[in-house]
A = this chain, B = another copy of it.
Amino acid sequence: MHLNSIRVDGERLWRSLMDLAQIGATPKGGVCRLALSDLDGEARRRFLRWCEAAGCAVAVDAIGNIFARRPGRRAELAPVLAGSHLDSQPTGGKFDGAYGVMAALEVLRTLNDHRIETEAPVEIVAWTNEEGSRFQPVMMGSGVYVGAHDLASTLAQRDQDGVTVGEALARIGFAGDARLFGQPAGAYFEAHIEQGPVLEDADVVIGVVTGALGLRWFDVIASGQDAHAGTTPLARRRDAMLAAAQVIVELDRIAREHPPSGRATVGAMTVAPNSRNVIAGQVSFTVDLRHSDEAALAAIEEAFRRACAAIGAARGVSFTIKQVSAYPVTQFDPGAIAAVRVGAAALGISHMDIVSGAGHDAVNMAGHAPTAMIFVPCAGGISHNEREAAEPDHLEAGCNVLLQAVLAKAGVR
């Protein structure tokens, strides 16, 4: 049998996705399944039953990551991992995360159907708390797994009600001890909806993800002087709102000077005193800078800081800039990327290289194992939204590419 002729069962994949989406289903057709909630526990148990039915041995680690192993011919080889996460945003969709886990499950089911014995073991992984909506930090489970976060302090993180990660894990029965962190992996593949509009615009089914944008987050405070909007001549103003607006316009210009992946976003703003006829004395806003090249990202940050200094000086407004988070540019593994690209080509599925604009567990795994991702289109590029949608055919195609990539890395004698 030629391995390229094997296909996953697209209908079974779709049914699993729809079954899973019932757990935490929202009236608007989305999913609310916050990390380590009772609903997350229910989804995990359903996933475990499916894994056990597929003959997998299941292990849960101390941060709640789930590993479901299908043995290979050579038990001494590091397993090839495929997966994503089961938790969702508060108003999330059916596919973000869930697709990567269900696609990995479908790959194992297909291997079973065809009685294929791989050389290396193949494991499905469901990482704990990728979204970071309830507990910080985001991408928690994969971060602990690769040693980016300390286990003890992560277990002590609290949600808004004061519940710790450790308490929440114990409550839903997923405080495991079955596995050491940082165990080697032969490769890691994550299938995911793109969450952006690029594939849909290009009418391409598969995004061969070559890496992820670097990211720098800042909290900025513009401090001027609140004053009466009627009695204060323009020349005498220290208008924090006007200065902030100039910075926002300038940030867009700076990002456009670094195409194609340069991005700058001001998504949140708070104004004080926020009164119609009072010049704003203080404006706080967030800045999100991204680029696929570390030097370009640094140049964008430098230009942003220069803009604040120049605009502040001209407007009598002082800017304080605090970096609150940063992820370096991620380059995925050339061999893992090639396995995805070759798989798509062998199946005759349209594909293009793409860089992930968002963070994923694969970003954590990239420093730990040969890693790549497979993107499929989502309608209108909309995600983190109950309206999130994807075509069954595209999900099936992405799963077939995942199967090919897993087979290439796990090996079949």
Contacts and interface: CB of A to CB of B under 8 A. Distances in A.
Contact of A382 (B217, B227, B261): B227
Nearest to A273: B267
Contacts of A213: 230
Contact of A248 (B233, B234, B242): B242
Nearest to A286: B276
A37 B298 CA distance: 57
A384 B384 CA distance: 43
A411 interface: no
Contacts of A288: 229-230, 276-277
Interface in A25-76: none
Contacts of A233: 196-198, 260-261, 263, 357
A265 B226 CA distance: 11
Contact of A274 (B228, B267, B383): B267
Interface stretch (A147-155, A160-168, A249-257, A336-344): A249-257
Nearest to A358: B230
Interface-centre pick from A231, A255, A273, A359 (highest chain B CB count, 10 A): A231
Nearest to A215: B230
A244 to B, nearest CB: 8
Interface string A193-211: 0111110010000000000
Interface-centre pick from A246, A261, A266 (highest chain B CB count, 10 A): A266
A127 B227 CA distance: 24
Interface string A178-200: 00000000000000001111100
B269 A241 contact: yes
Given A234-B262, A245-B248, A357-B228, A267 B256 contact: no
A129 to B, nearest CB: 16
A53 to B, nearest CB: 34
A238 to B, nearest CB: 11
A124 to B, nearest CB: 25
A413 interface: no
A404 interface: no
Contacts of A356: 230-231
A1 interface: no
B266 A357 contact: no
Nearest to A269: B271
A230 B236 CA distance: 39
A232 interface: yes
A265 B273 CA distance: 13
A359 B276 CA distance: 14
Contact of A242 (B239, B252, B381, B383): B252
A261 B256 CA distance: 36
A278 interface: yes
A280 interface: yes
A323 interface: no
Given A242-B252, A262-B234, A274 B278 contact: no
Which 7 A/B pairs are nearest by Cβ-Cβ distance?
A196-B231, A230-B357, A245-B248, A231-B357, A229-B265, A245-B245, A230-B358
12 contacts: A198-B233, A229-B290, A229-B357, A230-B263, A231-B358, A233-B261, A242-B252, A242-B266, A244-B245, A245-B246, A249-B249, A267-B275
Interface of A: 194-198, 201, 213, 215, 217, 226-234, 236, 239, 241-242, 244-246, 248-249, 252, 255-256, 260-263, 265-269, 271, 273-280, 286, 288, 290, 356-359, 381-385
